[in-house]
């Protein structure tokens, strides 16, 4: 099980980015949460298999939202992230 924390920057707020990220996570059986940050970026915590996580990271990098555009993606492995059994769109952490 791989656990990652991501910070996504670019045109990622107001374009359906969180909801399309959830759709991608659900397709790949990734669990976690996605939320908007006050600075205009999007935060993600996710856990899943190594193979699914690689696909998820690449999908986020390519922007799951057709109206979105990712200019920067920071991915940090963090074994301390809480394991979840769903993927949720939240309103901040």
Which residues are catalytic, by number?
18, 36
- Contact in structure between 56 and 1 (CB atoms under 8 Å): no
Give the contacts of 62 (CB within 8 A, at least 6 positions apart): 70
Distance of alpha carbon 80 from alpha carbon 93, whole angstroms: 15
> What is the strand order of the sheet 42-48 is part of?
69-77, 2-11, 42-48, 31-36, 87-89
């Amino acid at each position: 099980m791989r656990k990652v924390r991501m910070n996504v920057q670019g045109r990622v707020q107001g374009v359906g980015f969180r909801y399309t990220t959830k759709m991608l996570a659900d397709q790949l059986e990734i669990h976690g949460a996605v939320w908007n940050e006050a600075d205009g970026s999007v935060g993600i915590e996710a856990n899943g298999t190594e193979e699914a996580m690689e696909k998820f990271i690449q999908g986020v990098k390519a922007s799951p939202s057709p109206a979105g555009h990712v200019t920067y993606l920071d991915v940090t492995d963090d074994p301390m992230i809480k394991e979840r059994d769903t993927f949720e769109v939240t309103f901040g952490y």
